[in-house]
A = this chain, B = another copy of it.
Amino acid sequence: MKKLINDPQNVVTESVEGFVLAHADIVTKNDDPLFVSRVGGAVQGKVGLVSGGGSGHEPLHAGFIGVGMLDAAVPGAMFTSPTPDQIAPALQAADGGAGVLAIVKNYTGDVLNFETGAELADAEGVEVATVIVNDDVAVENSTWTAGRRGVAGTVLVEKLAGAAAERGDDLATVTAIAQRVIDNVRTMGVALTACTVPHAGKPSFDLPEDEIEIGIGIHGEPGRHRIPLAPADEITATLLDAVADDLALAAGEQVLLLVNGMGGTPASELYIVYRQARALLEARGAQVARSLVGNYTTSLEMQGASVTVLRLDDELTGLWDAPVHTAALRW
């Protein structure tokens, strides 16, 4: 295992420490329990936004704290959801008196820990609403299982709900916006290589040199199936078609296209994927009105990418264009 780390046990604390030092104009941290929040504290009268989950997906979530997006983020251990005693004070720290929306990715651990965290915060007088992001179309038969995972679409939920909160929407409205995004966003990913969790010390799965995993999550889990390595255009078609079909995308619709790198993919490759995904969307008659290409929801150093499509309406487009000032997303 080759990593720029010190003791594997300290990866999360040291990296959060570096992050907060580098972005001291935007974020601050609480140490015990660990969470990161906006410098200056909760914005009075504004609905607070909190997300969190296992670490290893950077810049998710702490990279999205700041004006127009999150108020606090709760980093768990590597690929391990945070605990209620971290989540509850983060929810409190984000509360400016207008309640807090918790944005939770759909994993048993995240859901359960946020459930308890919300209960604890509620006991302290914080009004908490929760949305569960589940954009990963790779999970089939989701009604009979733990359900779809929350993956890169989470970034869009955080941005759009964040913009709604920033313009002064109340908790019910912000929650409804977040849910509308969730209902209209789908993602599917591919891995060319596995990733190595520091404490595990070896790759999350073994993949022959000529095979790739289709339908991976963001925790180094193996995907739904394995196929021979193929040209980027073919792989992209597999991902995009699954996403667009599931979304029942119709001609004439406007979409946001997010091509997300898993952490170890060169930018040049992400743009090759983007080029083809966009061409396929346009061939379906959809219009790519907004785009985002880069590493936003990663799996450590995994090589691979995911394709996310969000169906836009005028309000969502406006919320997307609203100013955002975070470490990882800024305009």
Contact = CB atoms under 8 A, between A and B. Distances in A.
A2 B263 CA distance: 15
B272 A6 contact: yes
Given A2-B193, A5-B269, A192-B4, A275 B232 contact: no
Most central of A7, A19, A22 by chain B CB within 10 Å: A22
Contacts of A209: 2
Given A5-B231, A232-B6, A15 B268 contact: yes
Contacts of A291: 21-23
A266 B56 contact: yes
A313 interface: no
A279 to B, nearest CB: 9
A46 B34 CA distance: 48
Given A2-B192, A2-B209, A192-B2, A303 B14 contact: no
Considering residues A4, A274, A330, which has the most beta carbons from chain B within 10 angstroms of its beta carbon?
A: A4
21 contacts: A2-B193, A4-B190, A4-B270, A5-B272, A6-B232, A7-B231, A15-B268, A15-B269, A15-B271, A17-B275, A18-B275, A19-B271, A21-B274, A58-B266, A58-B271, A63-B267, A263-B266, A263-B267, A264-B264, A264-B265, A264-B303
A303 B301 contact: yes
A212 B2 contact: yes
A310 interface: no
Contacts of A2: 192-193, 209, 212, 229, 303
A17 to B, nearest CB: 5
A283 to B, nearest CB: 14
Interface string A302-329: 0111000000000000000000000000
Given A15-B271, A18-B275, A303-B301, A265 B4 contact: yes
A18 B271 contact: yes
